[in-house]
Structure 1
Amino acid sequence: MKKKVLAVLLSGCMVAGMIAGCGSKGGEDKKADDSAAKTETEDKGDEAKGGDYHFEVVVKSFQSSYWQAAVQGIKQAEEELGVTANTTGPNAESDIADQVNMLNNAINKAPDGIALAACDQNSVLDSLQTALDKKIPVVCFDSGVPDAPEGSVYATVVTNNGAAGAIAADKIYEAVKDKIAKADKQVRVGEVNQDATSANITERGLGFVNRFIELAKADGKTVAVTGNDYYVGKVEDKGDAKSADIVIEIAVPAQTTVELCSTEAANIMNKEDTIAIFGSNQVSAEGVLTANQNLSVLGSDPEKNIIAAGFDAGSTIKAAVKDGTLLGAVTQSPLMQGKLSIETLTKICNGEEVSDIETDGYWYDATNMEDPDISPNLYD
Structure 2
Amino acid sequence: MDRTLHPRSRRLVPLVAVAAASMLLVAGCSSSSGGKKAQEEDGSGASAGKAGTPRMTIAMVTHAAPGDTFWDTIRKGAEAAAAKDNAKLVYSSDPNAANQANLVQNAIDQKVDGIAVTLAKPDAMKDVVAKAKQAGIPIVAFNGGVDDWKKQGILEYFGQDESVAGEALGDKLNELGAKHNICVIQEQGHVALEARCAGVKKTFKGTTDNLYVTGADMPSVKSTITAKLKQDSSIDYVVTLGAPFALTSVQSVADAGSKAKVATFDLNKDLVNAVKDGSIQFAVDQQPYLQGYLSVDSLWLYKTNGNFSGGGVAPVLTGPAFVDKSNVDTIAKFAAKGTR
State the TM-score, normalized to the length of structure 1.
Answer: 0.69
Give the aligned partner of residue 78 of structure 1: 82
**Higher CA-based Rg:** 1
| 1:357 paired to 2:320 | no
Deviation at 1:116, TM superposition (A): 0.7
Letter of the structure 1 residue corresponding to residue 299 of structure 2: L
Deviation at 1:330, TM superposition (A): 1.4
Task: Structure 2: state its 5+ residue gaps.
Answer: 17-48
| 1:112 paired to 2:113 | yes
Separation of aligned partners in 1, 2:173 and 2:50? 44
Separation of aligned partners in 1, 2:299 and 2:190? 22
Separation of aligned partners in 2, 1:325 and 1:57? 35
Give the aligned partner of residue 24 of structure 2: none
Which runs of structure 2 are paired with 1:1-380 in the superposition (5 Å)?
A: 1-2=4-5, 5-6=14-15, 48=51, 50-61=53-64, 62-90=66-94, 93=95, 95-144=96-145, 146-147=147-148, 150=151, 152-177=153-178, 180=179, 188-212=180-204, 216=205, 246-270=206-230, 271-297=232-258, 305-350=259-304, 351-355=306-310, 356-371=315-330, 375-376=333-334, 379=338
Deviation at 1:158, TM superposition (A): 0.9
Separation of aligned partners in 2, 1:367 and 1:64? 27
CA shift in 2, pair 1:338/1:54, >3 Å? same
Letter of the structure 2 residue corresponding to residue 312 of structure 1: D
Separation of aligned partners in 2, 1:257 and 1:85? 30
Query: Contact conserved, 1:276 with 1:308, CA < 8 A, in 2?
Result: yes
Deviation at 1:150, TM superposition (A): 5.0
Letter of the structure 2 residue corresponding to residue 353 of structure 1: F
Query: Contact conserved, 1:172 with 1:309, CA < 8 A, in 2?
Result: no
Q: CA RMSD in A?
A: 2.8
Separation of aligned partners in 1, 2:189 and 2:281? 27
Give the aligned partner of residue 26 of structure 2: none
Deviation at 1:74, TM superposition (A): 0.9
Query: Contact conserved, 1:49 with 1:346, CA < 8 A, in 2?
Result: no
Deviation at 1:114, TM superposition (A): 0.4
Query: Contact conserved, 2:130 with 2:152, CA < 8 A, in 1?
Result: no
Superimposed CA distance per residue, residues 162-190 of structure 1 (whole angstroms, 9 cap, x where no aligned partner): 2322332233222225xx5xxxxxxx321
Letter of the structure 1 residue corresponding to residue 61 of structure 2: V
Superimposed CA distance per residue, residues 42-76 of structure 1 (whole angstroms, 9 cap, x where no aligned partner): xxxx9726422211111222421111111111111
Query: Contact conserved, 1:132 with 1:151, CA < 8 A, in 2?
Result: no
Deviation at 1:293, TM superposition (A): 4.5
Give the aligned partner of residue 21 of structure 2: none
Separation of aligned partners in 1, 2:50 and 2:90? 22
CA shift in 2, pair 1:148/1:51, >3 Å? same
Query: Contact conserved, 1:71 with 1:338, CA < 8 A, in 2?
Result: yes
CA shift in 2, pair 1:334/1:73, >3 Å? same
Number of residue equivalences: 291
Superimposed CA distance per residue, residues 97-142 of structure 1 (whole angstroms, 9 cap, x where no aligned partner): 3322222212211111100123322211111121122121111111
Query: Contact conserved, 1:161 with 1:204, CA < 8 A, in 2?
Result: yes
Query: Contact conserved, 2:298 with 2:308, CA < 8 A, in 1?
Result: no
CA shift in 2, pair 1:49/1:172, >3 Å? farther
Separation of aligned partners in 1, 2:148 and 2:134? 17
SS at match of 1:124: helix
CA shift in 2, pair 1:287/1:104, >3 Å? farther
Letter of the structure 1 residue corresponding to residue 159 of structure 2: V
Separation of aligned partners in 2, 1:58 and 1:118? 10
Deviation at 1:328, TM superposition (A): 1.6
Letter of the structure 1 residue corresponding to residue 276 of structure 2: K
Separation of aligned partners in 2, 1:140 and 1:358? 12
Query: Contact conserved, 2:155 with 2:308, CA < 8 A, in 1?
Result: no
CA shift in 2, pair 1:176/1:339, >3 Å? same
Deviation at 1:324, TM superposition (A): 1.9
Query: Contact conserved, 1:158 with 1:357, CA < 8 A, in 2?
Result: yes
Separation of aligned partners in 2, 1:313 and 1:129? 33
Deviation at 1:268, TM superposition (A): 2.7
Identical counterparts, % of pairs:
20
**More divergent stretch after superposition (191-200 vs 110-119):** 191-200
Letter of the structure 1 residue corresponding to residue 334 of structure 2: P
**More divergent stretch after superposition (305-314 vs 145-154):** 145-154
SS at match of 1:192: strand
Separation of aligned partners in 1, 2:62 and 2:125? 13
CA shift in 2, pair 1:284/1:48, >3 Å? same
State the TM-score, normalized to the length of structure 2.
Answer: 0.76
Separation of aligned partners in 1, 2:324 and 2:308? 38
Separation of aligned partners in 2, 1:150 and 1:339? 24
